[in-house]
Amino acid sequence: MLEIKREISIMKLVRHPYVVRLHEVLASRTKIYIILEFITGGELFDKIVSHGRLSEAESRRYFQQLIDGVDFCHSKGVYHRDLKPENLLLDSQGNIKISDFGLSAFPEQGVSLLRTTCGTPNYVAPEVLSHKGYNGAPADVWSCGVILYVLLAGYLPFDELDLTTLYSKIEKAQFSCPPSFPVGAKSLIHTMLDPNPERRITIEQIRNDEWFQKEYVPVSLIEYEDVNLDDVNAAFDNDEDQRTNQQCENDDMGPLTLNAFDMIILSQGLNLATLFDRGQDSMKYETRFISQKPPKVILSSMEVVAQSMGFKTHIRNYKMRIESISTNKASYFSVILEVFEIAPTFFMVDIQKAAGDAGEYLKFYKNFSSNLEDIMWKPPHETSKLRNSKTKGQ
């Protein structure tokens, strides 16, 4: 619910002619009603699909409006992080309306780098994929560059079925512009799709670009609006009170939820099968398993097994540290385990060696996991194999 409140607050904050307007938030005892601007022209994506590439003049007009809207969001400290034609609506006059702020960031003052890997892969900047922190403004500029390419070409500059190949091309900015591209637009796209965010063109520089300036009509902000979030706060007050009471009764709010990007980054070589693989090669320093048991049951089971093996355990929220009782530094061994939610009924336990020998870790995990078979989830084909082997043994 906090994420919904954040998105609604952001939409009230960014009141601009090229952003979908949120008029009001109302609440009953059981429902929250959001009154949005009525947009009748559908998605820009649908127009591109039905018409193919757009003319230079039309592409430039949409792009100018997009930059105006994004620039205003940035001036309010808001970074969209999921800009794509599907999230650009068209009103009855054919003007762009930026929508869907569900992944947007509104960092606190003093926070310069964002950490969450999110967005749509084909439109995401390379630094977002690096998982090392990134600045929201250059990341949005990259997405705008991809959108301009799509408007003029009718297809994506980076489009591969294999994620490894796709991400490699994005990181190196491997793309080419068709001969039909206007020279000015081609030059602008290359400066926007610079893989180095430090060198990437800024929105201010885009505004001064000769190709961008042609037939540009700056948007007029008729009035200064003092944005009031009272209705948003009132609508969510009851929910926050209830959540605060729950938090007093229980300090934790559940395990962290992994999104698709988190799972890809955790996997080896973008092969998601390694999330479920308990082979020896993947267990030298870290491994993981899936369970359908409740998180507290998973933690309790692991604690019992670890203690029965002679280890000390420390639990905080949904993290557990397992360490040897010995004070001898040479034989000291410790492991960090964390429970993540990957679906409403599926949880992943990520296990990593914190200290000690890799061989010791492998020996530990084999012993540890053999005592956790009851909580480990196995694919149906493995379950049937196990059942068949037991039957044959009988």
- Domain-wise residue ranges, the chain: 2-106+114-213, 256-385
pLDDT band at 44; cut points 50, 70, 90: very high
Catalytic residue among 46, 68, 71, 82: 82
Which range of 11-20, 125-134, 198-207 scores highest in mean pLDDT? It is 198-207
Please give the mean pLDDT across all residues of the chain. 80
Give the model's pLDDT for residue 285: 46
Give the model's pLDDT for residue 278: 46
Beta strands 256-257 and 286-291, pairing class? unpaired
Q: What's the CATH architecture for 2-106+114-213?
A: Orthogonal Bundle (1.10)
| Percent of residues in the chain assigned helix, strand, coil, to nearest 5 | 45, 15, 40
Task: Encode 142-166 in three state secondary structure.
Answer: HHHHHHHHHHHHCCCCCCCCCHHHH
Q: 113, 131, 130, 129: which is closest to 121 by C-alpha?
A: 129
Tell me: pLDDT of 153 over 60: yes
- What mean pLDDT comes out for the span 349-363? 82
Cβ neighbours around 129 below 10 Å, total = 20
pLDDT per position as a tens digit, 185-213: 999 999 999 999 999 999 999 999 999 99
- What mean pLDDT comes out for the span 69-79? 92
Q: Determine whether 239 is an active site residue.
A: no
Tell me: pLDDT of 176 over 90: yes
- pTM for the predicted model, two decimal places: 0.60
Give the model's pLDDT for residue 112: 63
CATH number of 256-385: 3.30.310.80
Give the model's pLDDT for residue 246: 45
Tell me: pLDDT of 89 over 70: yes
